Amino acid sequence: MITHIKNRLNRFRKEDAGAVYTLEFAVLLPLLFMALFFGVELTTHANRQFQLDRGLEVTTRIIRLNTAIEYTHDELKQTICANTGGLEDCESNMRLELLTEDLRNYTGLPARADCTNSPVTVTPVRGWSLGEQHELMLMRACYEYTPFLASIGLGKLLGSGENGKGEMVAISAFVQEPR
């Protein structure tokens, strides 16, 4: 039996008809795996973004429906994280901004979102006001995460921030209803 297997392997080794296919396989296999890794990373990124958007929208709805309650920064952060569906280490990796906007003199949010920096102490909360009646409020959440495949492909591009962390931002707007 062993000699039969050796004879088959020797014939296979001496055959040169499939050499062209072996070369194509060797060239295209890494490209195929890169496309696979790209798809996996893109899927996990889109899932995280969906979770962050959902958590922010549910929290915004809670604020709109309960205008008599004065929420603190930490309470809103906990509410967002509870409604995301399980973002990794959400409360320590997220930063919130809540700013009032004048509809007649709209300036918008600063272009760059404030994100936490894990090893550095967190800077004071930027722009925190629950607003008055009929004021337009903009809430922005910035979440830092470690890409799923951080060392290759799209994960390397997404994790191009400090410490190899990626950042994603979700923005929601609402009007403070009368109390």
Chain segment 34-66, per-residue pLDDT in tens: 888 888 888 888 999 999 999 999 999 888 887
CA distances from 94 to 56, 80, 107, 127, 169 (A): 11, 10, 24, 15, 10
Q: What is the pLDDT of residue 79?
A: 92
H or E stretch including 8? helix 2-14
pTM as predicted: 0.74
CA distances from 131 to 100, 109, 123, 143, 178 (A): 6, 15, 22, 24, 11
Chain segment 126-135, per-residue pLDDT in tens: 555 556 667 7
Q: Which ranges of 15-163 does DSSP label H, i.e. alpha helix?
A: 19-65, 73-84, 90-93, 153-158
With cut-offs at 50, 70 and 90, classify the pLDDT of residue 82: very high
H or E stretch including 98? strand 94-101
Extents of the domains making up the chain: 2-175
Chain segment 134-158, per-residue pLDDT in tens: 778 888 998 988 887 776 767 667 7
The answer on pLDDT for 171 being more than 80 is yes
Taking each helix axis from N to C terminus, what angle separates 73-84 and 19-65, rounded to the nearest 10 degrees? 140
Backbone angles phi, psi at 119, to 5 degrees: -80, -15
Nearest to 140 by CA among 96, 90, 106: 96
